[in-house]
Each structure stands twice: as C-alpha cells, then as structure tokens.
Chain A
C-alpha cells in the first residue's frame, strides 16, 4: 500500500530557530511536494521536486528551502522560523508514469512557532 510518512504530527519551535520537516515515501515516486494549509486558503505549494537533487519553487517559497538527496526523502527547511509560518504542512508524492495518477499525502505536521 502507498505510504508517505512525515516525521512529526505536532511540532513546537521558537522564533528564529532552523526547523526541519522530513518526509519519506516508499513508492519509488519521482515527484515530491511540500504544501502548507491555512484556514480559508486551501493548500498552497511551497516547493516540489521531480528527481533527486532537483527542486522547483512553488507559489509561496519565501522563507523556505528544500533538500532531496535521496529519491525517497524530501525535506522542508525553515531557515529562520517566524510566527507567520505557524501552519499545517503536508507532504505528497506522485508517479510520472501516467496521466491521472493522484498525489499521495502524508498525515501532515502541525507546526507552531512561538
């Protein structure tokens, strides 16, 4: 069965800290994505990756960076956390092997920046 695992369900950090959110998928998917979800705004794409060591900016990349050193792992980094980055973060992966294949999501990380 498809599995996307995010390292933490809940995380509390302080302003200015460097924060790492980890995501691992076991489906050998080429694509991986990071979204943030805020009430009334839906899901917004932060960064995505088509392949190892490749990354593309999404709609709201400011204040974030990503790393993909291995195919199965995609990390989101908050370089210097700020309170406006308090949000729900969702990781997803998908295959490039056909049209109409859905993205599969992890359970999400609720991040609070104090």
Chain B
C-alpha cells in the first residue's frame, strides 16, 4: 500500500519569499512517480511537477522545483519568489509505475501568500 503524508495543514509566507511544502511517502514499489498539484479556491486541480523514482536530477518547472530525497522518502515542493497567485491548496501524490494507475494523495497544505 502507498501512503503520502503532508504534515503542514497551513502555511503563511511573505510575498517574494521562497517556500517549501513538505511531502513524505511510503511504498514498497521500486518504480514510482511523485506528483504535485495546485488547487486554487475555484476548485480545479492543476498539475505542477513530476519526479520519477529513477530520475537522478531533481525536477524543475519554472518557479517550481522538487527536492527529491529517495533515501528519506521525501519529495518536497519548493516555490521560488512566491506570488499572491500562489495562494492555494497543494497536494502531493504518488503512483506506482507498473500495475494500476491510480494516484494516492496526501491531505494537502493550504498556502497563503501575504502581501
């Protein structure tokens, strides 16, 4: 079974500062993927970034980067130079690369950017 833990229910960050959202995971699969999604107050889920378990480099997408530490089973999302529009819920999720394709989600972190 897979499990995702997000220990920060809420965070407040000053605009333009960097922010790290924590995610730890547990799985017995050897090959898996980790995903981060953003959910604004309007409700849609927006895919941000993906990290494969065998990827040697940390994934980056614009202002988003994923700090992947496989031995510690952590996959933290880093947002550089935060903006007011970054205020949202953020979900970490994982999926085994073989077998069924379902995602297991964490409980989310609500990020609020303060002007």
Instruction: Give the B-binding residues of A (Cβ under 8 A).
Output: 9, 31, 33, 35, 40-45, 48, 50, 56, 58, 88, 90, 92, 94, 96, 99-100, 102-108, 110
Chain B residues with CB under 8 Å of A110's CB are: 43
The main secondary structure of chain B at its interface with chain A is: loop
A93 to B91, CA, bound (A): 17
Chain B residue nearest to A109 (CB atoms) is: B43
Question: 8 A-B pairs, CB-CB below 8 angstroms?
Answer: A35-B105, A42-B108, A43-B103, A99-B33, A102-B47, A103-B35, A108-B44, A108-B45
Chain A residues with CB under 8 Å of B35's CB are: 102-103
Q: In angstroms, how far is the closest chain A Cβ from the Cβ of B77?
A: 14
A18 to B90, CA, bound (A): 33
- Say whether B102 contacts A48, CB under 8 Å: yes
- Say whether B50 contacts A104, CB under 8 Å: no
- Say whether B47 contacts A104, CB under 8 Å: yes
Q: In angstroms, how far is the closest chain B Cβ from the Cβ of A74?
A: 14
Instruction: Give the A-binding residues of B (Cβ under 8 A).
Output: 4, 9, 33, 35, 37, 42-45, 47, 50, 52, 91, 93, 97, 100-103, 105-108
A76 to B35, CA, bound (A): 25
| Apart from A42-B106, A105-B37, 10 more pairs, CB < 8 Å | A33-B103, A35-B105, A42-B4, A42-B107, A43-B105, A44-B105, A48-B100, A48-B101, A50-B101, A102-B50
- Say whether A45 contacts B44, CB under 8 Å: no
Chain A residue nearest to B46 (CB atoms) is: A105
- Say whether B106 contacts A33, CB under 8 Å: no
A90 to B44, CA, bound (A): 9
The 10 lowest CB-CB distance pairs between A and B, nearest first, are A105-B45, A102-B47, A42-B107, A43-B105, A108-B43, A42-B105, A107-B44, A100-B50, A99-B97, A100-B33
